[in-house]
Amino acid sequence: MKPLDISILSVEDLQSLSLDTLARLLSLCRLVILRRIGEPVRDLSWIKMIPFEDLLEKDAQLIYEHCGIETLIRLWETLPSLSLYLGEKSLYDLKRRHIRKHYDKGNPEYDVKALAVKLNVSEKFVYETLGSTDATDDRQTSFI
């Protein structure tokens, strides 16, 4: 089989393709990359070719409704039979790290109130974060 010379394709050529064709092309490219790097390949793109909504249960339905079919398929392809729990501890640790890294009392975009609003936490949470240290954070000084 002769290799496809994609250097002759232009942005206009790709824009003229239907979304379905582009999705198939992306899926094929992904499969080729996975095969080249030795990753196991599990192509579930066929799911989009049939009615599937009525067969989704519990977590699969939730992921589909909030993240879309592409995300659900990617999870099935890469993490089959794995139960996931996305607790908020990691999210709060990430918020604390963000606060420690970006807090700037003199900058209204990064003061306590702005960070609290941006991260959907209380000002007290921001103050407590700034007053504590994080063993995994290299900024160990108190800011208040």
Side chain identity at 100, as an amino acid letter? Answer: R
Average pLDDT over residues 70-81: 85
> pLDDT, tens digit, for every residue of 102-144?
999 999 999 999 999 999 999 999 999 999 876 555 444 445 4
* C-alpha distances out from residue 30 to 16, 23, 46, 74, 78, Å: 21, 11, 15, 11, 12
Q: Can you tell me the distance from the alpha carbon of 100 to that of 104, in angstroms, rounded to the nearest whole number?
A: 9
| Residue 121: CA count within 13 A, CB half-sphere | 20
Query: What global pTM score does this model have?
Result: 0.53
Domain ranges of the chain: 14-78, 89-131
Name the token pair of 88.
């908020």
